């Protein structure tokens, strides 16, 4: 099954709703007499552009069939034969998910009719509305289309005709999507897997779900050039980017380009304008338009604003995607304070060939609504799978995933802000920043995730008008993320909650209280706050707060010992006989048994030694450089190995139509991989002692 379709949320699916009317219910003998199909895109049924037609029938229509749908031989007079309709039907279906009520019958009928034409009907992936309703509400008295329409409040449609029934099935599907989500079935892959389980339990059921493998649908990104995912922008940028004042004449700017051997020059901002850029092409256009007089004109007259930028720590695929989307050749590179520190150009990136693989990041940035955002987000497993196939280390794949969680959170905040303006709530009352915490903040996220986010705003008291506005923003932002596929945090670590929202002064007071007067309840969530990164808004202020928090924590021995004690003993991952300790389902939770303990130890030791770094790998390396401990190198290797095992299991679960988690089935690992995992988990027994020794008892 194609990973992209598998991971697409039901509410955002690109589908085709189909219904047929026939001469009977025996697939082997029935003939098609009417067909209708409608496109369904991002939660909207396109009822204005239906594919609809009566179909010429070479056999008599039984009176019993006509009594149901009202179609007789007289109505079919002049109707086109299926041979004339078939190419248009196939084009209309495209590569979309097929949706319908008892859709297995329609698929079998189309396959039989195509065979009579000498064609092979390439069955697309399909979802049966009847089966989905059984999953969403097992206790309904009937699952006929009439019964479902009555239950879901769908009325006013012409029934027992192809277009009316297709419309009803489409509206029913849209109404079922949130009900299925409430039962833990969120994606197309999960819905198909659940439907298959229902059909297996029903003797003689019509086929309801056609596997994507059977349909011949391939993953869109089976291989890609992984270079842009392995390297950061800072590695490809030119650090000594040429800059000049806005009043500089164009002639002097061209001379500067020549001296610096640069194809662009940054122009400082004027008044309310931010900085801009003048490229070789801009200069040539100016001379063509104004002639020689252009050379004496100030370069600010020809600068492009606003300036397109990319952070220096972004992966290169982000820069490639932005250049492609904006159709530009130069990007300004900024640091954590939004200062220009370099430039990256297409010339720097000519050897990269990532192609459509870079589309994910830009699709997230450009998504105009929640369904579009969900469709873009569904690409994430595709990209992860392709990167692993290209031997990119799982820890680096996790960094890419974390980067896109940040981008997703940023776009959700922007959409939430726009929605507040739409309802008359106005814009932000002051500057603010949106943060991601936990694994996203550390840059090591995997495919089973929930929300960990927060908001810092410039000023305002808890419970005041400013806080009220940001509370509304937090609720809308977290709701969007939840709908797209990043579930709400069960522990409430979200910007919608008062404890993770506040002014800069409020956050400083919180951090001071955590460091000096912590209690066990605080420690349940305070640790991941030290992992935060700003992804939207006033990043400079947020980054300053992070540095303040880390500097203040270094001297707080009592606080750090409480953090270490709160971690407790490492959970035993091995049995008495040295085997992997699995649960009844044959799986082991490698987040709880392994990953969590390594991450916690790295954070505590880094805080203790003043190693201000976000990632676990960087923290272990920083502390190791100070201490020279072989134990830390062992933890680093175990961290990489566990991330790899979890990520591969998550991709396998998505392929099987299961929601990804952190539980790994050791039986799916090779014997060498199992042995390596046992060694890694065995070595974690030292964690409590290591923390105690490093913190001084």
Kindly state whether residues 395 and 294 are assigned to the same domain: no
Encoded tokens for 485 = 């596929």
CATH no. for residue 245? 3.10.580.10
Q: Which residue has the tokens 């190995």?
A: 641
pTM over 0.85: no
Instruction: Tell which of 192, 215, 238 closes a domain.
Output: 215
**What stretch of H or E contains 547?**
helix 539-553
CB neighbour class for 498 (10 Å; exposed up to 12, middle 13-18, buried from 19) = middle
Cβ-contact 311, 536 below 8 angstroms: no
Asked, for residue 686, whether it belongs to a domain, the answer is: yes
| Assigned token pair, 30 | 């029935």
* Helix, strand, or coil (residue 507): helix
Residue 549 lies in a domain: yes
Q: Are residues 239 and 149 in the same domain?
A: no
Structural domain ending residue among the three candidates 164, 193, 215: 215
Helices in 423-464 by DSSP H: which ranges? 438-442
- 322 with 406, same domain? no
Residues 384 and 530 in one domain: yes
Whether residue 261 has a cis bond before it, omega within 30° of 0: no
Contact 131, 199 (CB under 8 A): yes
357 is a domain residue: no
**210 and 105 within one domain:** yes
Domain boundary among 195, 215, 235: 215
Same domain, 346 and 374: no
Domain presence at residue 646: yes
pLDDT of residue 218: 44
What range defines the domain where residue 435 resides?
367-553
**CATH number of the domain that residue 541 is part of:** 3.30.460.10
> What mean pLDDT comes out for the span 485-495?
91
> What integer pLDDT is reported at residue 222 of this predicted model?
42
How confident is the model over 685-692, as a mean pLDDT? 84
pLDDT at 521: 64
| 360 assigned to some structural domain | no
Supply the CATH number for residue 82's domain. Answer: 3.30.420.10
pLDDT at 646 over 90: yes
d(CA 460, CA 441): 25
Same domain (yes/no): 161, 300: no
Residues 424 and 505 in one domain: yes
pLDDT confidence of residue 208? 44
For residue 559, is it within any domain? no
Instruction: Say if 558 falls within a structural domain.
Output: no
In this prediction, residues 576-581 reach a mean pLDDT of 84
| Residues 442 and 533 both lie in one domain | yes
- Same domain, yes or no, for 210 and 263? no
pLDDT of residue 522: 65
Q: Could you report the per-residue pLDDT of 165-221, keeping only the tens digit for each?
A: 999 999 999 999 999 998 989 999 899 988 888 877 664 444 444 433 344 444 444
Least confident of 200-209, 223-232, 330-339: 200-209
* Whether 47 and 136 share a structural domain: yes
Q: How far is CA 658 from CA 189, 370, 398, 588, in A?
A: 7, 23, 20, 16
Q: How far apart are CA 290 and CA 254, in angstroms?
A: 16
Residues 465 and 605 in one domain: no
Q: What is the pLDDT of residues 430-448, one digit of tens each?
A: 999 999 999 999 999 999 9
Considering only residues 529 and 351, tell me which one the structure prediction assigns the higher pLDDT.
529
Task: List the beta strands (DSSP E) in 280-329.
Answer: 309-311
State mean pLDDT over 275-281: 92
- Cβ atoms of 299 and 253 within 8 Å: the answer is yes
Condensed to tens digits (0 to 9), the pLDDT of residues 104-148 reads 899 999 999 999 999 988 878 899 999 999 999 988 888 999 899
Q: Determine, yes or no, domain membership for 91.
A: yes
Distance CA(639)–CA(220), nearest Å, equals: 30
Using CA atoms, how far apart are residues 554 and 609, in angstroms rounded to an integer?
Answer: 6
- Looking at the structure of the chain, the number of domains it has is 4
Q: How confident is the model at residue 28 (pLDDT cuts 50, 70, 90)?
A: confident
């Amino acid at each position: 099954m194609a990973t992209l379709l598998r991971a697409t949320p039901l509410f955002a699916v690109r589908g085709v709703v189909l219904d047929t009317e026939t001469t009977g219910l025996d697939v082997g003998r029935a003939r098609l007499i009417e067909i209708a199909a409608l496109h369904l895109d991002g939660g909207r049924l396109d009822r204005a552009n239906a594919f609809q037609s009566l179909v010429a029938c070479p056999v008599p229509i039984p009176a019993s069939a006509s009594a149901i749908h009202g179609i007789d031989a007289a109505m079919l007079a002049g109707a086109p034969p299926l041979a004339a309709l078939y190419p248009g039907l196939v084009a209309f279906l495209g590569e979309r998910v097929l949706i319908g009520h008892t859709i297995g019958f329609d698929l079998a009928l189309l396959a039989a009719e195509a065979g009579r034409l000498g064609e092979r009907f390439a069955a697309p992936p399909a979802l049966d509305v009847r089966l989905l309703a059984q999953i969403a509400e097992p206790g309904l008295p009937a699952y006929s289309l009439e019964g479902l329409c009555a239950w879901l409040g769908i009325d006013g449609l012409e029934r027992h005709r192809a277009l009316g029934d297709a419309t009803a099935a489409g509206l029913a599907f849209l109404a079922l999507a949130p009900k299925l989500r409430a039962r833990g079935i969120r994606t197309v892959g999960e819905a198909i897997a659940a439907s298959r389980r229902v059909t297996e339990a029903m003797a003689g059921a019509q086929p309801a779900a056609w596997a994507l493998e059977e349909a011949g649908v391939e993953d869109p990104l089976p291989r890609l050039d992984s270079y842009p995912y392995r390297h950061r922008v800072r590695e490809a940028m030119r650090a000594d980017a040429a800059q000049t004042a806005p009043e500089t004449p164009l002639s002097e700017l061209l001379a500067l380009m020549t001296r610096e051997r640069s194809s662009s020059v940054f122009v400082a901002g004027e008044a309310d304008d931010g900085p801009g850029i003048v490229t070789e092409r801009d200069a040539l256009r100016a001379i063509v338009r104004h002639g020689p007089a252009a050379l004496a004109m100030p370069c600010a007259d020809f600068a492009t604003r606003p300036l397109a930028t990319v952070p220096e720590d972004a992966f290169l695929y982000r820069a490639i995607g932005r250049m492609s989307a904006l159709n530009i050749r130069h990007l300004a590179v900024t640091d954590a304070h939004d200062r220009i520190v370099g430039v990256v150009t297409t010339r720097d990136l000519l050897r990269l060939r990532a192609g459509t693989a870079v589309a994910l990041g830009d699709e997230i940035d450009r998504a105009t609504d929640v369904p579009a955002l969900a469709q873009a987000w569904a690409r994430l497993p595709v990209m992860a799978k392709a990167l692993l196939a290209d031997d990119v280390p799982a820890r680096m794949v996790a960094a890419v995933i974390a980067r896109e969680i940040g981008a997703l959170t940023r776009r959700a905040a922007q959409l939430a802000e726009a929605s507040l303006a739409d309802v008359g709530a106005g814009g932000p009352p002051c500057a603010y920043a949106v943060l991601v915490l936990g694994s996203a903040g550390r840059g090591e996220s995997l495919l089973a995730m929930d929300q960990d986010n927060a908001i810092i705003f410039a000023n305002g008291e808890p419970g005041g008008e400013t806080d009220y506005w940001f509370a509304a923003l937090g609720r809308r932002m977290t709701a969007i993320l939840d709908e797209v596929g990043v579930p709400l945090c069960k522990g409430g670590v979200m910007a919608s909650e008062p404890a993770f929202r506040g002014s800069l002064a409020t956050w400083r007071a919180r951090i001071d209280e955590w460091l000096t007067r912590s209690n066990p309840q605080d420690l349940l969530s305070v640790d991941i706050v030290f992992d935060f990164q700003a992804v939207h808004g006033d990043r400079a202020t947020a980054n300053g707060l992070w540095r303040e928090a880390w500097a203040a924590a270094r001297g707080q021995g009592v606080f750090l010992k409480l953090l270490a004690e709160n971690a407790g003993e490492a959970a035993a991952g091995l049995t008495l006989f040295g085997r992997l300790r699995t649960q009844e389902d044959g799986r082991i939770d490698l987040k709880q048994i392994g990953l969590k303990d390594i991450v916690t130890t790295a954070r505590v030791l880094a805080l203790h030694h003043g190693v201000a770094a976000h990632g676990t790998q960087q923290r272990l390396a920083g502390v190791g450089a100070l201490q020279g401990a072989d134990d830390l190198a062992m933890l680093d290797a175990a961290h990489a190995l566990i991330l790899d095992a979890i990520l591969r299991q998550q991709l396998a679960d998505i392929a099987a139509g299961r929601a990804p988690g952190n539980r790994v089935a050791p039986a799916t690992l090779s014997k060498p991989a199992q042995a390596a995992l046992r060694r890694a988990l065995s070595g974690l027994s030292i964690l409590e002692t290591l923390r105690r020794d490093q913190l001084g008892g």
